[in-house]
Structures are given as C-alpha cells and as structure tokens.
Amino acid sequence: MGNKKAKWLMYTVLIGLIPVLSRLLVWLVTKGGSITPFVASDFIAYGLVLHVSNINEIEHINEESPSWKTIQNGISIIFIVTYGVLSTLGMLNEKASAFIDVEALKFCTIGLAVASTVLSYSVFDRLSAIAREEKV
C-alpha cells in the first residue's frame, strides 16, 4: 500500500470513523438498548471528514490535468452540500419526528458514506501514483 493511502486509512478513515465506532462500542457494553448502534449524524460526520480531506489534499498537488482536480473538488463539494442537507433533516427530526423517516435517513447516510469511502480511496490512489511519479 502506498504511503499516501496508508496515511489516508490511518488519519482520515479511522479518525472519521471515531463517532461511529464510539457509538457502536457504547451500544455493545450498555444494557437495555438505550443507545442506538448507528445514527445518521455519525455517518454524516465521517463523510464530511473524507470530502474535506479530499479537497485539502487535491489542492496541494501539481497535477498535469487541472480538470481532474476541478472535477474531484466539485464532486466533494456536492457531497458536502448533500451531507449538509441530511444533517439539517436530522436536526428537523428533533422537533418534527413524524416528518422524517429516521431509518431512511440512516440508510441514505450509510450509502453515501460507503460511496464517499470509495471515491476518497480513488482520489488517494491517484495521489499516491502522482507522489510515486514525482519521486522518480
């Protein structure tokens, strides 16, 4: 595994998953099911971490194809806006719980988080390849 991908896995993915893993651990060690094991807000935070990391890393490379950088940044911005909307829906659920389908919201955010992980991996895969080429 390339150095950039290893750092991405350790610093971005694992740090981003702290809310998800913490909630899961609390759920495992508590009695009575008072904690929900998975909630949308944890996956929203994870997705935001991934896309902000993508934008930050992409802005610091010298890529021969500036259109690739623009496309990747645009995709990340679209995901960030989508996560923002989903976060707003989660907040609305606190006051108008009959209005929001919490399960649908949770599955949407989990699906987006998986898509974000795949997209972020592909970005860091390319960044790793660029870093290897620059060393040669």
pLDDT in tens, 11-23: 999 999 999 999 9
Confidence (pLDDT) at 133: 79
Q: How far apart are CA 51 and CA 73, in angstroms?
A: 9
Rg (CA), the chain: 17
Categorize the per-residue pLDDT at 136 as very low, low, confident or very high, splitting at 50, 70 and 90.
Answer: low
Q: How far apart are CA 51 and CA 89, in angstroms?
A: 20
Q: Which amino acid is at 136?
A: V
- Quote the mean pLDDT of the chain: 91
- What does the pLDDT look like over 92-107, one tens digit per residue? 988 877 888 999 999 9
The DSSP-derived string for the chain is --HHHHHIIIIIIHHHTHHHHHHHHHHHH-STT-S-S--HHHHHHHHHHHHHHHHHHHHTS--S-HHHHHHHHHHHHHHHHHHHHHHHHHHHHHH-TTTS-HHHHHHHHHHHHHHHHHHHHHHHHHHHHHHHHHH-
Tokens, residue 64: 């021969």
Average pLDDT over residues 29-44: 89
Whether pLDDT at 1 is above 60: no
Q: Is residue 86 a contact partner of residue 112, using CB atoms and an 8 Å limit? A: yes
Full-model pTM: 0.91
